[in-house]
Structures are given as C-alpha cells and as structure tokens.
Chains A and B, each alone.
Chain A
C-alpha cells in the first residue's frame, strides 16, 4: 500500500515566501522573539550562503544589507498549513496531518485515477507549487519511510526531479541508507524533545554513526542496551521497516488567508495588491478542492486613531433590502485597541475568479472606505459547489454571471446600489408598491409563448412616472380640474378633457396612511414646441396632505 509524504522544508520561510512571492529571489530570514531579543529561527538557501544561520540575533543579521528579515507570522503559517492539507486532500481522502510542515496521504487505489506513482508524485509537486509551496514529495510503502525520504531530499530551489522520490517496495533500507542521521528528527522540536534529540545525535556522532545505513547495521541487542527502546525505534525507521497506520483527519472546509502588515496602509491602491494576492491564494485553494465561493468576508483591522469619535464612524451601511443584496452587511467592531472593519460580499452564484473578486472588492471599498489605516487583512471564503450549466445552441443569450456581477457593481457605484436591479412588486395597492432586488441572470429559459392572446395583452397604455411627482396648481371648476400650472416639466395648460376622480386609500392602520383621488386629464401643452400636441397626464389629489400632483404621463 503506497503512501505519499508532502514535506515543506523551512516551513516558516516557505510560509513567508507564499505570502510574498517577490521574495523568492532574495535571501530571507525569519525572526522570532520579543524585541530587542529577536533571533533568527529559519533561513532560506540564499541566506545560508550569505552566512546567516538560525540562532543569530537580529542585530547580527542586519549587518547583511541584502537580507530580507521578516517576523514569524502564525497567520501565514496556518494559511500555508491549510494549503498543504488542501493539496494532500485533493489527491486522497485519507490524509494525516503529521506536522505543520508534513502531510501523509494514502495512495491506495489512486493509480487508476492519477496514473503511475511517479506521475502522482509529480502531480502533487506541481499542485503544491500552484498553491505557493515548494514541497518535497516521496512515495514509499510505509509512511515513516516516506517521511524520512522527503526530509532527505533537496530543499527549495532544486529542480522538480530532485524534490520527488518514489521508493519501490522492499528497497526502503537501500534508499534510506544514504540519508544522513539527522533526518530521523524533525526540524523544529521544542523543549524536552529537542534536548533528547540533541543527546541522541551527539551519542550517535560519537559512535561514528552518520548515516541511516550505519544505524541500521548496528546489532539490535547492543543498541537496545545502550539507547533503549528509542534506539530500536530509530533503527527500525532507518531500515524502513517501521509500520503504523495513518491517523486520517477530516479537515474542515475553512478557506481563510490573512496578512499582517508591518506598516499601516493608508491608500486603497496598495491594499488592492495585497487583496489580489490573498484572493489568488484563496482561489487556488478552492480550485484544488474543486469548489467555488458564494460569499467573501473581508475583515480589516484598523490602526487606532486618536481623535476619531468611534461611535460616529459608522462606516458600514446596513442594507435596506433583505439579505440578498450584494453588500448586505458591514459592521465595525470596536475593540479596546484596534477597530475592525468588515465587509461581506455576497455573490448570486458560485464563482471562482480572483480578478472579478478583486474588482468587486475594489468597487465596494471605493464606495465604503474603511476610514483608518489598515494593519491587518483577513479574507475568508465560504465554499460552495461550483455551478454547473449546460448551454444550448438554441437557447437565448444570457449574460455571463461574472461579467454581469462586475457590470452591476460598476453601475451601482455610479447610480447607487438601490437604483439598479430587478423589479419586485409588493403586495399592496400603493403606487410606489415595489422594491428593487438583485438581478440574477440564472432563471431557466421558459418556453416561448407565441399565442396571439399574450401578444395582444402586452399592448397596454403605459404610464411614465415623474419621480418625485410634480406639484401642480390646479384651478377647479365645479369641483373638477380645469386649468393646470406646473413649474417643472413645463406641464401646464387648460384641461381639454378629464376622467375621474377615482379614490384610492390604504395603510390606514399605520402612520403612513395614504388617500388620494386620481384624475386622468388631457392637456394641450402650450410649452411644447408643437402646439398641437396633446398629452395625457395622471393628476393626483392628496386627500390627506391637500396638494395636487402630476404623477405621470400616459405614453
């Protein structure tokens, strides 16, 4: 039963490089500790060539001007670890979370899906690279042999072939024998484990044991007399004979990326670059799991600005409509030191396009700026099944959802969020009984109705409304409008003929009660260029307010 191991060497450095890909060509060192006692805990190969080594102080490292120093970021490491597990779970459902930098996966039965073991190992390496991780891949017949083999492979920066190893079954001892003795212990051990590992390594070094082959050749009884059961365990590992069962995990579908900034961002333009990077990482992870997203949650941690009345800084605009609007929720959580600014981007359909997401977020942040410098960015995606649509040659055209969403966001930024969308009539007789809802182009095409009755019914006299209605001065004769003067729209003149009134009222049980008389009138409008033109209007008498209004024209 083959097992594959994915191992990310120099994990803190790899996490930092994943967050900042532009550092790939530079020497990078990761610092940890409280200032001014910060020490280097990990370096990449370029930094090692420059003489930088772990345990150096920050002051010593700063002497090297070309060295990029980055503080250790638990957020970046957790995101990189999640990406590692995503990579593993995209190949096998049985994945063990061995360490923060190591994942084991059971490849039993996967050859029929992904090809030979060497092809699988190359595919895993390629996918890890897509996710921003330079990983070593090894496949062996037992998990521990695979783990040791990955630790012995070349580090980051080596060619892909050097990062991949497939150990044939039965030849584990032969392959592992070439590896140094240090691969028996993980890179990062803490506390008593580290002391014990250091003691064992010193002991083996004094014995002249510097490779796994030498350790495997030691007599078992003598080894157990001197090193105990731990010595026997290490010897089994060195022979590739250790066997155990995987402890599979069921990783939750959490897709979150975060970045902590050294210096606060005060412009939205650099924020867009960071968002783009986070979105690309999120989309790559979602694509790895064959998922899309329908909701993006952006949380910005803002620097505490003195002199700002936090209560009055109500940046978020609660939506007037239901939760189906695009940006429906915005909140500002006041903490003791820093302020959090959250935006939630609801999408009508599952999408997976980092560029579209970025533009939507840009448009939203342009309309609703955070209001303070940003020190931390947290972006989370709610996974959803990707939409599946079957097109047809004879179906009517339909807007592409991604393009349409972006178009709607741009138009909303121009005319206002509540002024673009689809109509929804409310269950009321009030003239303004409608609301705008989100326009979604996903309704299945209905069968064309080419009946004569439906065509005839569609020719109805339409009303064009004046928003707001035009206040009019009406001269009455026998209680009926005879002359109309309206400053705006040049609607004025004698009433040629009229019909009405028709009384409408409603909501009398609420404070917004309304009652009105409607007239349909015809005016010979002297203000029009063509004096012979007659226009039909709807004249409304507000019985509660007492005013006359021209509500619209029949056209």
Chain B
C-alpha cells in the first residue's frame, strides 16, 4: 500500500478501499488506471450478484487502521551529544520540534550545550535564541562548541537605540521577511506582533512616552517573548541552520504558556522537510502535540536524600562541604585537588596576573581546609535523569536514563 494512493484518495474525498494484495502494474494488458477495493466496486458494482455485495463482509479483514498507516517517512535522527540520550530516544529528529523541560538545575543547559557541540562537530551552523540572555560563554567553549558556528541572539529588555529628535519618519519595513507571522493578537493587524510602541501609537501617545514608566516583570517577559518568537520566525525563514534552540528556561511559566499553539504549529511546519532541528528548552511542556519528542530532565538525587546528608553532616563542619555525589568519591579527592592545582598553575603561567584563581593566596583571611571540596568536587558527575515523556517517532514506552556531567573549569 503506498502512501500516495492514500493521500490522493483522501484529498479528493473519494471513498477508498484497501487491499492487502495489489496487483503490480503492467501485469495485465489493460492500460487504464486500475481502481482497487471499494472505489472500484462503487464504479463497477457486480452485476451478477447485486445483493451479495456487502462491505461489512470485506472491511474487517482488509482495512488497515489509520494508526498503522505509516505515510510519513521517519525523520533522520542525529546524535544529541549524550550517548545515554541517544540510546533512549535514538537521537534528535531533524525537521521536528523537540522539547526539553525541567526545573532549574536539572541539566537542561547541559543538554543544550552537548547538542550544540555535537551539531557544530558535524559542521552545522547553530543558533541559540536566548530569551533570558543567560548563556555562559565559558561553558559554551568548555562544552566543545565551535564558537564561530554558533549564532547567539540575546533577547533582553533594552530596546535598540533610537534618535527621537529626527524629523524623518521611519517607513515600515518590507513585509516579506516577518510576513510569516500570521497569528493575531487581539486587535493587532496580521503580521505584526504586539509591541509596546505600536500599542502606544494606537493609543495616541508617543512611543517615547510609552517607555517612560518602569516596565514590570510581566512586561519584560512579554517583550522578551516577542523578540524570541520574531527572531525564531526570521531564522526559520532564513534557513540553513542545523540546530535552532529556543532557550525559554528562565522565562516565567505564565509567560511561556501564553505562546499560542498556532505559533508552535507554524514553527513545526516551517522546519518540516528541512534538516533543521528545533529545540525548545523550558520549564514545563508548552508546545503540546507540536513537539515530536519530549524529554523531562531532573537531578537524580532527590531532595530528601540531600536533606539527610545535610542534616547528618551538620554536626561535622568539614563534612558539610560534601555533596551527595562526592561521598562515594572520597578517595578521588586528593587527585582532584592536585588536578585543580595544576590548572591554577597553568593559568598563572599564562601571565594574566598573579592573583587569578589563587585559592591558596597567602593573604586570604580564612583559607579553606585541605578537606574542602573544590568546584570539581561539588559538581563533577552531577547525575541527571532524563525521562522520555513522549515520542511520536518510535512509540516507545516512557523510559528514563541517567547520565553524568563533568565540571568545566572556566573561571
């Protein structure tokens, strides 16, 4: 059964009937297009047995359920940069929207950087549309991302500088670029998302006056969200990127949920049949059924366990420094200390000042004891649990994996 037959018949509104066995074309001398199944029967009912033609007798054994119709080709899967995730999901699907959600400190950015590093290693160009301007360049470099292949769009609160004293009035920008913004926001005309300046114009006041009052947190979030969506629209229209990341992780959940579902549908349609991977980092799933893959991340160590460690260690001052992940690696402490000292020595040799990264500085008031863990102690092998919530690609049941991260010394 070919997908072309199904879609054509469905598109033309004709009833169709599926046969398990299709006679190959050219096997008979008849050159007319051959109709199969019920379509054929509708046009040429059996004359000899007009009463005996009962569809119900045929349907149960021959009709394939729609859920089993594999009319969409499976998307190409590429590595996410984390072998455990690749084993869980098969990788990240091209031409699809993937949602990565989780609370703070759940490993979302770690996942993001790993995906970016993997994409740039493949020679692709990537974009991060950063709603909160939260990307740390040193972490990006430490993750192995090729910086010259990464476009960083830092959405923020500061509007571009204008010169209000000009007597010239700006003409509207040509509508070809952002014309793909089709959703309507209230009484706003199509193609122009709500902006405070346009609202001010409609209200009859100058945009300068509209910005005079202090913007609230919700207004900031709306402005950032508007910038994120417009920038994403433009980037998707531009094309050519292997990975486009929408970093909505620090956006308030209320603001993120205000993204219309039509926007996600538009994004999904824009990347369909393209090699672009659209990755959304957020606190909770907001794209609904538009996402082809949904991963829930979280720290593996539960808070109860952590609290127990904290309470048990509260009586011992030296031990309160230890994190849950460290207790099993006490033997590695000395080794890490020596490794860190080596890093500091290397930095000193770079000639960037004698005090840089100087932990054991002589004039430090309260130097930590020798048992004090380092950055690496606290954060090395921070275990992250990834749970596959939904995948429309391979219909695997919900599973989860755990992977560990390393600390990048980027200070």
Contact = CB atoms under 8 A, between A and B. Distances in A.
A423 interface: yes
B379 A419 contact: no
Interface stretch (B16-24, B99-107, B390-398): B99-107
A266 interface: yes
A271 B169 CA distance: 11
A304 to B, nearest CB: 13
Contacts of B359: 502-503
A211 to B, nearest CB: 56
Interface string B301-321: 111101101100100010011
A371 B238 contact: no
B171 interface: yes
Given A422-B152, A455-B83, A465-B135, A506 B352 contact: yes
B364 A503 contact: yes
Given A410-B177, A417-B160, A497-B323, A505 B275 contact: no
B166 A370 contact: yes
B143 A460 contact: yes
B303 A534 contact: yes
Contacts of B154: 415, 419-420
B171 A267 contact: yes
Interface stretch (B66-74, B259-267, B400-408): B400-408
A113 interface: no
Give the most central of B139, B168, B361: most A CB within 10 Å. Answer: B168
A554 B240 contact: no
Contacts of B152: 420-423, 436
A399 B375 CA distance: 39
Interface string B171-184: 10110011000000
Nearest to A467: B133
Contacts of B364: 503
Nearest to A500: B368
Nearest to B379: A461
A367 B81 contact: no
B320 A497 contact: yes
A520 to B, nearest CB: 5
Given A407-B177, A528-B104, A458 B171 contact: no
Interface stretch (B41-49, B118-126, B287-295): B118-126
A185 interface: no
Interface stretch (A59-67, A218-226, A254-262, A390-398): A390-398
Interface in B101-138: 103-110, 112-114, 117-118, 121-125, 132-138
Contacts of B158: 416, 419
A128 interface: no
Contacts of A429: 347, 352-353, 356-357, 411
Contacts of A431: 138, 411
A509 B352 CA distance: 11
A496 B306 contact: yes
A114 interface: no
Nearest to A400: B240
B309 A497 contact: yes
A499 B230 CA distance: 41
B276 interface: yes
B21 to A, nearest CB: 38
A497 B238 contact: no
Nearest to A372: B167
Among B81, B148, B230, residue most surrounded by chain A Cβ atoms (within 10 Å): B148
Q: Tell which of A395, A417, A503, A524 has the most Cβ of chain B within 10 Å.
A: A503
Interface in A445-466: 445-450, 454-466
Interface in A514-536: 515, 518, 520, 522, 524-525, 528, 530-536
Contacts of A55: none
Contacts of B39: none
Contact of A366 (B79, B104, B121, B173): B173
Contact of B303 (A396, A399, A408, A524): A524
Interface string A304-333: 010000000101010000000000000000
A554 to B, nearest CB: 6
Contacts of B83: 455
Nearest to A427: B352
Interface of A: 266-269, 271-272, 305, 313, 315, 317, 359, 362-363, 365-373, 395-400, 403-404, 406-408, 410-417, 419-425, 427-429, 431, 433-434, 436, 439-441, 443, 445-450, 454-467, 478-479, 496-509, 515, 518, 520, 522, 524-525, 528, 530-536, 552-555
9 pairs of A and B residues whose beta carbons are closest in the complex: A399-B240, A445-B123, A269-B171, A462-B109, A458-B117, A369-B166, A532-B303, A505-B355, A460-B408
Given A414-B230, A479-B366, A500-B372, 17 more contacts: A267-B169, A268-B168, A268-B171, A359-B177, A422-B147, A422-B149, A422-B150, A434-B137, A458-B81, A458-B114, A461-B382, A462-B109, A464-B249, A497-B313, A504-B358, A515-B355, A536-B378
7 contacts: A269-B171, A371-B168, A407-B234, A459-B403, A464-B249, A554-B105, A555-B106
